[in-house]
Amino acid sequence: MNERVLIKDLSALPEGTVTVSGWVDTVRDQKKVQFVVLRDESGAVQIVNPATREIAEDDASSAERVATTEAISGLSQGSFITVTGTLKHDERVKLGGLEVKLATMDVVSHAIPETPIAADSSLDKRMDWRFIDLRQPKQNLVFRIQTTFEHALRQYWIDNDFIEIHTPKLMASASESRAELFEVEYFDTKAYLAQSPQFFKQMAQPAGFGKVFEVGPAFRADPSFTSRHATEFTSIDSEISWIDSHEDVMQLHEDLIVAGFTAVVEKHGDAIRELFGLEVTVPSTPFPRIPLAEAKRIVAERGYEVPRADDDMDPEGERQIAAYVKEEFGHEFVFLTDYASSIRPFYHMRNDEDGSLTKSYDLIFNGVEISTGAQREHRVDVLIEQAKEKGLEPEELEFYLDFFRYGVPPHGGFGMGLARVLMLMLHETSIREVTYLFRGPTRLAP
């Protein structure tokens, strides 16, 4: 049996016998010749079969060719087949300049002829049939980009002596807001799905790990139906010891972004141009930094008043400040800094000169917030008071507060949503498009 060849590797092979496997994209069944566009995980190739529709008397080979012709005529889109034939290089062939002249075909799996989704199906309908939707080259590319991006981040962390951790996703108490927790039965008690690895990545600092990272699931019981929210998402987290301020965290963050984007552009830039019609650019450093109060003033001067009374920036404000940064600095990223303590978690360190502000930031990319980072408060007495201010009971946080009672260095870090980064990088309109299997308030399947 010939060894299967990936379609992307055919162009480098000499003419001769090859075996390819994949699913049927299209069939052109003409009177004297049949064409099948076969796709696999790496690309597409044209299969050619000279059609034989009549059996010559007592000719076994012609009977076999007729059977193959009939089998091709009966192929439905999505059927999986294995083809062995002769590879031919021909510049006249529009699909990659090569084709395979069929010798034998094995139909591995027939697909139902009526495909449940089409190119113009709604996003929700496509999510119902996600395994078929993912066969599209654009969707395939999304997850190759995701793989490259994550690998580049991990390479940066490893090259810079970070330790990878895997934190538990079942927790005994809240890490931030109890209102956004999923509660689950846990033997004779209750547990909560982790909103983030926040407490546990901080635990690595008094443990002496110094620098840590994690890429893993997080859960938010947020009944939001926007294009950028999910109830289960992949969070990219990092935490580092011995920082002077949140500026150290921002420098780490932008270096990681540059590493990830550089890898994506180098490996997939051409494919992104072809399938998405856009140019992904590697951002320059340092990213612009604007205090939140100044950002609100800039937005107001552009004619938009942020209506929120809670000291935060709303989605339109994020879009406006991003437009300003693009115009003024030619940059797709901006750090908004100095958020009010009233809207930040109790563990964010307060500003030394103005306790109403925190040493924290949000990272905005193409008009959407993708991350929050901060220097953490490491003084246990201050932590207790700040927790009380937020209405939290210190007794429920004892396991967390213990981290700070036996010595801890100054530290900080960030959490970033992977799907948001991919969505904005590829100018998609919803994180559903860049999430393998999306989970939201009304979706738990497939």
Annotated binding site for ATP: 369, 417-420
Phi-psi region of 305 (alpha: psi -120 to 50; beta: other; left: phi over 0): beta
Annotated binding site: 176, 220, 369, 372, 376, 417-420
Query: Rounded to a whole number, what is the distance in angstroms from the first to the last CA of the chain?
Result: 36
Dig out the tokens for 85 from the structure.
């034939």
Give per-residue burial for 147-181: e unless 16+ CB within 10 Å, then b.
ebbbebbbebbeeeebeebebebebebbbbeeebb
List CB contacts of 302: < 8 A, sequence separation 6 or more.
320, 323, 324
List CB contacts of 166: < 8 A, sequence separation 6 or more.
214, 216
Annotated binding site for L-aspartate: 176, 220, 372, 376
Give DSSP secondary structure letters for 222-257.
----STT--SEEEEEEEEEES-SSHHHHHHHHHHHH
Q: Name 44's bridge partners.
A: 39
Q: Which amino acid is located at 319 in the chain?
A: R
What value, to the nearest 5°, has the Cα angle with vertex 219 and ends 188 and 287?
150
- Give yes or no for a cis peptide into 217 (omega within 30° of 0): no
- Residue 95, burial from CB neighbour count under 10 angstroms (0-12, 13-18, 19+): middle
